[in-house]
């Protein structure tokens, strides 16, 4: 599945965490280390499966199944909070030319 950040979301890094703010909706969210990693990866990658692979490679001791569950759960929560959109169609991937 593919996801995209909602435009106009502001972010502020805090050590291993990140705060997200959506001024128009007057909502904010504090992301833990794992969720902050997922949010950061969404600036380059929209596929939940690819983000899960990157999560597993970055965090020691995380199995492939756990990475997939963590990414899907985090993205579902971010969609419910209005910080991320679930896309119904595939997003073309642009390669550096």
Q: Does residue 16 lie in a domain region?
A: yes
Q: Does residue 95 lie in a domain region?
A: no
Q: Does residue 46 lie in a domain region?
A: yes
Which range of residues forms the domain containing residue 40?
A: 2-87
Q: At what angle do helices 64-81 and 48-58 cross, to 10 degrees?
A: 120
Q: Does residue 48 lie in a domain region?
A: yes
* CATH number of the domain that residue 64 is part of: 3.90.930.60
Max Cα–Cα distance, the chain, nearest Å: 39
Q: Does residue 62 lie in a domain region?
A: yes
Q: Does residue 38 lie in a domain region?
A: yes
Q: List, for residues 45-86, the tens digit of each pLDDT value.
A: 678 999 999 999 999 999 999 999 999 999 999 999 999 998
Q: Does residue 54 lie in a domain region?
A: yes
Q: List, for residues 35-50, the tens digit of each pLDDT value.
A: 999 999 998 767 899 9
pTM of the model: 0.86
Number of compact structural domains in the chain: 1
């Amino acid at each position: 599945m593919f996801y995209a950040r909602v435009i106009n979301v502001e972010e502020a890094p805090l050590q291993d965490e990140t705060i997200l703010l959506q001024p128009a909706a007057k909502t904010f969210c504090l992301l833990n280390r794992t969720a902050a990693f997922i949010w950061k990866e969404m600036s380059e990658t929209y596929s939940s499966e690819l983000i899960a692979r990157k999560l597993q490679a970055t965090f020691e001791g995380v199995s492939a199944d756990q990475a997939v569950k963590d990414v899907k759960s985090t993205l579902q929560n971010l969609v419910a909070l209005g910080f991320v959109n679930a896309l119904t169609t595939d997003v073309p991937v642009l390669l550096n030319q």
